[in-house]
Amino acid sequence: ESHLDQIHAHNEVLNAFLEVYEDEAIAQALRVDAKIKAGSAGKLAGLVVGIKDLLCYKGHHSYAGSKILESFTSTFSATAVQRLLDEDAIIIGRQNCDEFGMGSTNENSAYGPVLNFANHAYVAGGSSGGSAVAVQAGMCQVSLGTDTGGSIRMPAAFCGVIGLKPTYGLVSRWGLISYASSFDTIGPIASHVSDARLVLDMIKGDDGQDSTLTSSVPPPISDNRRIAYIKEVVEHSSLQPEIKAAFEEKVAKLRELGYTVDGVGFPYIDHLLPTYYVLTTAESSSNLARFDGVKYGHRTSNPTDLIQLYKRTRQEGFGEEVQRRIMLGTFVLSADYYDAYYTKAQKVRRLIQDKTLAILSDYDFIISPTTSTTAYRLGEKTLDPIQMYLGDLFTVQANVAGIPGLSIPMGLDSAGLPMGFQLMTGPFQEAKMLDLGEKLT
């Protein structure tokens, strides 16, 4: 009820939830209460969770923040969602996001932007903006977000909460509406590291539905107290001075805790965003081909023939950014340009991955600020997509390399806006990363 009160008080302005399952949540709470009394409750008994509009939940709408899926009802639940329900969590509603997860500010949602609870003139970050603000404003305890290039960590940083992107292949993508399948991950946004850990433990592991899932997770590697930061990141010209100072304080704290912290070089820093945007637009142009007005969602009225049906449906249903990415992706996959862009980007992805893993064979963690700036003003970046893409510089490395990343709060800047600190570690070493995250919060 206290979370519903927060929703009633703030959601109209913040626009974090697109739909609130009020009666259902209360009914579930009463059921769980009875189970607790009977001693038969699951491990998440009573945990109040919100889910990003990109995740399927049986019998409920999933619009992916898009007009093209308006009125779509899921016929099955995402594995991650189902596993929360199986452990007696309470799902309180469906959260606003950038259309198909494409964006960094939540301004690409067909259902309007999400406002930052710290200051309504600023964006929430994206694409899981609704999920981050819902936790920030106490509308739920945990949100399930998705992260393809930073969409959990970036809004978590902008909103002063915790965001965990798991290793690619740890959590099933079954029931996640695809953006870029070789990058997409599902993870929690929370106020406490312990809640993020608990939720990850429940949602991870094989379900027989996602062929990219790892069936045998490697054993944990112990923490050798060695940390690297990438010099090109920490010295980047876009880094806001106050963020740099807060980051340096964290480095000092880590040294106090007995960690060695070294600066290392990373020769591919300028290749991170081009690689990410070539490959993700390619994958998304292919994934989004299924939205044709025939199978689900929006269909144009009175088409003259089948081609008109496809064209007009997609023109009316997809927003500007999604159309831009489909065109870019189709271009880099086209016969004449495939080798020059798509194949080249795949090769660079491997170089980035190899170099990242080489650093992580010497060090336990790579640390950085989560973002180079605090939240943008609403509308500040919407006119220039390249400026918008640049904001993802520090987060995409984890997705390009497939490794886990955690954003934890790093205090407020002088304007009162939250800053975020990012930890990355080797594949499947989430436990170690969460342990250190807990020590630092």
150 near ligand GLN, judged by CB under 6 A: yes
398 near ligand GLN, judged by CB under 6 A: no
Residue appearing with tokens 């290039």: 149
Distances (CA, A) of 161 to 191, 288, 440: 5, 31, 13
Task: Name the closest residue to ligand GLN (Cβ).
Answer: 151
151 near ligand GLN, judged by CB under 6 A: yes
Cβ closer to ligand GLN: 28 or 284? 284
The rounded Cα 85 to chain-centroid distance in angstroms is 21
280 near ligand GLN, judged by CB under 6 A: yes
368 near ligand GLN, judged by CB under 6 A: no
149 near ligand GLN, judged by CB under 6 A: yes
Cβ closer to ligand GLN: 271 or 311? 271
Q: Which two tokens stand for residue 384?
A: 């220039």
Q: Which two tokens stand for residue 372?
A: 């180079």
The window from 9-17, 95-103, 344-352, 422-430 that contacts ligand GLN (CB under 6 A) reads 95-103
The window from 77-85, 146-154, 221-229, 327-335 that contacts ligand GLN (CB under 6 A) reads 146-154
Report the sign of the C-alpha dihedral through residues 17, 18, 23, 24, in that order. negative
Report the DSSP beta bridge partners of residue 50: 93, 143
- Rounded least distance, CB 348 to ligand GLN, Å: 17
Task: Tell which phi-psi region holds residue 77, choosing left (phi > 0), alpha (psi between -120 and 50) or beta.
Answer: beta
Instruction: Report the C-alpha gap between 294 and 422 in whole angstroms.
Output: 42
Under 8 Å between Cβ of 260 and 367: no
172 near ligand GLN, judged by CB under 6 A: no
Cβ closer to ligand GLN: 115 or 322? 322
Task: Tell which phi-psi region holds residue 185, choosing left (phi > 0), alpha (psi between -120 and 50) or beta.
Answer: beta
Please give the DSSP secondary-structure letter assigned to residue 288: G
Residues recognised as catalytic:
52, 127, 151
329 near ligand GLN, judged by CB under 6 A: no
* Angle in degrees, CA 186, 191, 196, rounded to 5: 40
Cβ closer to ligand GLN: 18 or 322? 322
284 near ligand GLN, judged by CB under 6 A: no
- DSSP per residue, 172-221: --TTBPPSSTTT-EEEEEESSHHHHHHHHHHHBS--SS-TTS-SSPPPPP
Residue 133: partners with Cβ closer than 8 Å, 6 or more residues away: 14, 16, 114, 115, 116, 117, 124, 139, 155, 159
Residue 207, classified by CB atoms within 10 Å of its CB into exposed (0-12), middle (13-18) or buried (19+), is middle
143 near ligand GLN, judged by CB under 6 A: no
Site for ligand GLN in 111-130 (CB under 6 A): 127
Cβ closer to ligand GLN: 32 or 81? 81
147 near ligand GLN, judged by CB under 6 A: yes
Q: Which of 103, 160, 163, 409 contacts ligand GLN by CB under 6 A?
A: 103
The window from 55-63, 99-107, 136-144, 261-269 that contacts ligand GLN (CB under 6 A) reads 99-107
- Rounded least distance, CB 214 to ligand GLN, Å: 21
101 near ligand GLN, judged by CB under 6 A: yes
Q: Which of 88, 99, 283, 392 contacts ligand GLN by CB under 6 A?
A: 392
According to DSSP, the β-strands at 260-264 and 418-425 are unpaired
- Rounded least distance, CB 7 to ligand GLN, Å: 24
- Rounded least distance, CB 338 to ligand GLN, Å: 21
Interface contacts to ligand GLN, rule CB under 6 A: 101-104, 127, 147-151, 179, 280, 392
